[in-house]
Structure 1
Amino acid sequence: MVSGANAADLEKKLIQNATVITASDSRVLENTDVLIEGGFIVAIGGNLVANDAIQIDASNQIVTPGLIAPHSQIGLMEIQL
């Protein structure tokens, strides 16, 4: 279960036609779909079908799955031994 999530966060969503930037060797995937269920990415690919999902057109948009709030406030004082 996703803590702190509300009902809208847990709805099935299909982001379509996005430019997806990944951490893998392929890095940039053009015209790619991302399917999200229960707050988790369950599929990434072309022409995904999920008729029961909220459809989001991400044409000319960038999606970076897994790169949510990568900024950290940790400083050197916190990591000193």
Structure 2
Amino acid sequence: MTIEEISKFLSTHNGRDKVIRTLFYTAKLASALTSSEETVFKLETISGQLSACRIVLRLFDDIPMLNYTLTYGLGKQVE
């Protein structure tokens, strides 16, 4: 893969999600296969952070959802 292909792949939501998901499952697998408690803790921390990253990207990556979030009324202004 060239740098242009990688850049194009990562410029889409699906591309970023696939890379993060692959890293997440790799960290999970590595933590299951290692015997060092410290390494297991570090890999579990990494996988947790990657999982949280995927959630945030799913919530705020697309423009319509961001627009809806910004225009959603709160309190007395809501009908």
TM-score norm. by structure 2 comes to 0.25
Q: TM-score by structure 1 length?
A: 0.25
The structure whose RCO (Cα within 8 Å, separation 6+) is larger is 1
Q: Which structure shows the bigger proportion of residues in helix conformation?
A: 2
Between structure 1 and structure 2, the one with the greater Rg is 2
